[in-house]
Amino acid sequence: MTIGTHAAVDLHDIEAPDGAERIEAVDAETRAVLGTIDAAAPGERLTRLAAPGEVDVVAPDIAVVGADVTRTLLENVVVRATARYASGVILDTAGASDGLRLLLRELGFRPETSRGPAVFIRDLTLAADGTRSRVLDNPALASLNGHHARFAERRGEIVRYQPDVSPWTGFPDAPTAIDWVDAAALLGSGAFAGVGAGATLPEGWTELEGGGGFQLTGEAVEGRPDPEAVELTPDDVPDILDLVAHAKPGPYLPRTIELGRYVGFREDGRLIALAGERLHPPGWTEISAVSTDAQHRGRGLATRLVLDVVHGIRQRGDLPLLHAAATNTGAVRLYEHLGFRQRKRPALRFVRVP
């Protein structure tokens, strides 16, 4: 399958070892193979060099295949990684020529010497406002292609969480006809999914009214641990599901607790408040399932738990984010009072599989 062209070169996917995508550059006229490049497949890593969400690459010998072919292959890897909301493309140039390092600099790569004297990385996290928040434009896709790859089910470029973990699905920003077919096959008739504002729905797909909401980021929120908050475990899931059923913060499934750290307050043995971690795009962690039993609201329990979760997120070097439904104005006011700010991002639409 031809996946792109550059000058007189065609690019094809070919079979590769597990955990890698191999791209072959072929002369468009003679059909001679000019060179290949290996890049980690979504959610995989070729080496321990890369962090979750980064794509590590094994580049061809520039002295053998030439600078033009190497450039074409590297550019294609970067385009793919950007579309999949990877946080970066990384490679080790140990033993390579100075020509490769010069080419990498021309392509926007920079040395990452903290991981080795010859490591280069192309940062893909920068948003239009200059902050490292681009992965938040498509947080489910970024999570499933990074930290949460172990929970992923895939078909082509469509990826979703395992059905008993989370309802989130990762869609490309501009789905192709093949992507829509793959999505229908993966999700099943009648399922729901979030897609970007620019996606053109094929025949039979319908958009749901009242979808969307706010995304809030907490770069300035430090958080603080709460000595009375208890760590929740899978043994607590029945109590969590009972609280969520009454408080209705959004979907919570039997294995959602595996996505991150959850904490709560108990009174007389009963779980009365809850908060925890869900999506995990590189560098960020979403706070989710913020719930308080109706009889215990107004005591500041949600605030205390959110700040406790924020503290844990920041302790490991991430930044916190939140999602709130457009109708949940009370929650938005609370989060803004704590220091979260609404982030402008491409609108998300919710659609139904025919």
Could you give the CA distance from residue 115 to residue 101 in angstroms, rounded to a whole number?
Answer: 16
Distance of CA 134 to the CA centre of its chain: 10
Clarify whether residues 147 and 16 are in a common domain.
no
> pLDDT for 68-115, tens place per residue?
999 999 999 999 999 999 999 999 999 999 999 999 999 999 999 999
- 9, 150: one domain: no
Q: How far apart are CA 278 and CA 261, in angstroms?
A: 9
Task: Reply yes or no on whether the pLDDT at 212 is more than 90.
Answer: no
- How far CA 325 is from CA of 82, 256, 288, 311, in Å, comes to 28, 19, 12, 24
Q: Is the pTM of this model over 0.85?
A: yes
Residue 4 pLDDT level (bands cut at 50, 70, 90): very low
Which of the listed residues 91, 123, 155 is the one where a domain comes to its end?
123
Query: Looking at residue 96, which CATH number applies to its domain?
Result: 3.40.630.30
- What pLDDT is recorded for position 328? 86
Of 317, 316, 321, 310, give the one whose Cα is nearest residue 139.
Answer: 321
Q: Same structural domain for residues 90 and 167?
A: no
pLDDT by residue (tens digit) across 138-183? 999 999 999 999 999 999 999 999 999 999 999 999 999 999 999 9
Residues 99 and 157 grouped into a single domain: no
Q: Please say if the pLDDT value at position 197 is more than 90.
A: no
The upper half-sphere exposure of residue 71, i.e. CA atoms within 13 Å in the direction of its Cβ, equals 12
65-69, 151-155, 208-212, 350-354: segment of lowest average pLDDT: 208-212
Determine how many CB atoms are found less than 10 A away from the CB of residue 97.
Answer: 12
